[in-house]
């Protein structure tokens, strides 16, 4: 089982092209932990901003009456992927993993696979 710090370390080391990772509480918008990032990629700002993305998608699904669960949200930039993985386990409700990737170095399918694996081992 991974705690927050171990899960973020695993994301940064096991996923090619990882630029930054955060575990975020989307009820408050607060990052519970961050690793990586840069002057241009402030993970605390990204956590708060992506909370708005998650909340908007959840509201839209409710308005549409969709019963499916959100697995992840992908934002594609010209040079980066931003991946938001909503956590589904009983202990992790209301949380998401956020991962920023260098588009030239990352394999998106493998990144999604690795985040699912990390999620399965995460215990917060």
Tokens of 69: 């669960």
E strands, the chain, where?
Answer: 18-25, 30-36, 72-76, 80-86, 95-102
Among 8-12, 67-71, 80-84, 92-96, name the one with the lowest average pLDDT: 92-96
For 20-36, write each residue's pLDDT tens digit. Answer: 999 999 989 999 999 99
For 70-92, write each residue's pLDDT tens digit. Answer: 999 999 999 999 999 999 865 55
Q: Which helix (H) or strand (E) element contains residue 4?
A: helix 4-14
Going from the C-alpha of 13 to that of each of 18, 22, 73, 124, the distances in angstroms are 8, 14, 21, 20
Q: Which helix (H) or strand (E) element contains residue 21?
A: strand 18-25
Average pLDDT, the chain: 93
Give the DSSP letter of residue 104.
Answer: T
pTM of the prediction? 0.92
| Cα(115)–Cα(108) distance, integer angstroms | 11
Give me the pLDDT at residue 59, please. Answer: 93
pLDDT bucket at 93, cuts 50 / 70 / 90: confident
């Amino acid at each position: 089982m991974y705690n927050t710090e171990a899960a973020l370390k695993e994301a940064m080391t096991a996923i090619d092209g990882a630029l930054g990772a955060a575990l975020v509480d989307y009820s408050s918008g607060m990052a519970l932990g961050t690793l990586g990032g840069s002057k241009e990629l402030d993970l605390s700002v990204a956590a708060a901003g992506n909370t708005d993305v998650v909340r908007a998608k959840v509201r839209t699904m409710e308005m549409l009456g969709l019963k499916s669960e959100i697995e992840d949200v992908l934002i594609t930039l010209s040079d980066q992927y931003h991946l938001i993985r909503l956590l589904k386990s009983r202990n992790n409700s209301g949380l998401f993993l956020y991962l920023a990737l260098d588009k030239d170095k990352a394999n998106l399918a493998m990144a999604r696979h690795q985040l699912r694996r990390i999620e399965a081992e995460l215990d917060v």
